Amino acid sequence: MKPILVGRVAGAFGVRGELRITAYTEDPLALLRYRALTREDGSAVLTLQTARAVKGAVIGRAAEVASKEAADALRGLRLYVPREALPPPEEDEFYLADLIGLEAATLEGAPLGRVKAVHNFGAGDVLELDPGRGGPTRLVPFTRDVVPEVKLAERRIVVVPPLEVGEREPDVEQSPQPE
C-alpha cells in the first residue's frame, strides 16, 4: 500500500537545527508519535525526537539534523508514514489519499474521469479530475454539495459539477405577479 503523506518540511526554525514541519494530520503532534518519517518510496528520512505544536505546524528536533543549514536543506521534503501506522478511519470518513484513482461520475452516471490528485490551496480541499484521452483536467471543490457520495468499496465518487465562471443558471419562467 502507498504510504500516507503526513507533512512537509517548511525549513529551519532558529539557529540550532530545529525543523518547522507543516502537519497534514488532524493533530500536528501525531508526527511525534509516528517518530520515523519516510520519503514516499519508504526510505527513512527523519526520526523526530522532540516536537511542539504551533498553529498548524510542528517545531521539532530530528536525530538526522544537527544544524540550521541541514534543516534548511530539507525544505520542501514531503514526509510519509506507512498506512498501517495510522488509525482506521471512522465510518463515513476516509483518508484523502484513498480518493486518488477513484472514478468520478455525475448523479446521472455520466463519466467525468478519475481523481488525479487532491490539492489544498488554503481555502479547502480540491479534487483534480482527469477526463482521460488527453483532455484538460478539471478542479472541483471537495465539499458535500459538490461530492455528495464517496463509495470507496465501489472505487467511485458522485460529483455535482458546480457552475463554471460565467455560466448562468437556466432561466426559470415565473408566473406574472399581481399588481
pLDDT (tens digit per residue) in 138-168: 999 999 999 999 998 899 999 998 876 555 5
Taking 80 as the threshold, does the pLDDT of residue 42 lie above it?
Answer: yes
Of 49 and 171, the one with more pLDDT: 49
Taking 80 as the threshold, does the pLDDT of residue 174 lie above it?
Answer: no
Spatial strand order in the sheet of 138-141: 138-141, 125-130, 111-120, 103-105, 156-158, 149-151
Q: What mean pLDDT is predicted for residues 42-60?
A: 91
> What residues contact 36, with CB distance under 8 A and at least 6 apart?
44, 46, 47, 81
Share of the chain above pLDDT 90, in %: 56
User: What pLDDT does residue 119 have?
Assistant: 87
As beta bridge partners, residue 117 has 128
Q: How confident is the model at residue 3 (pLDDT cuts 50, 70, 90)?
A: confident
69 SS3 class: helix
User: What pLDDT does residue 165 have?
Assistant: 54
Pick the CATH number of 96-158 from 1.10.760.10, 3.40.640.10, 2.30.30.240, 3.30.43.10: 2.30.30.240
Q: How confident is the model at residue 127 (pLDDT cuts 50, 70, 90)?
A: very high
Task: Spell out the domain ranges in the chain.
Answer: 4-85, 96-158
As beta bridge partners, residue 96 has none
Which one-letter DSSP state was computed for residue 176? P
Taking 90 as the threshold, does the pLDDT of residue 47 lie above it?
Answer: yes
Q: Which fold has domain 4-85?
A: Elongation Factor Tu (Ef-tu); domain 3 (2.40.30)
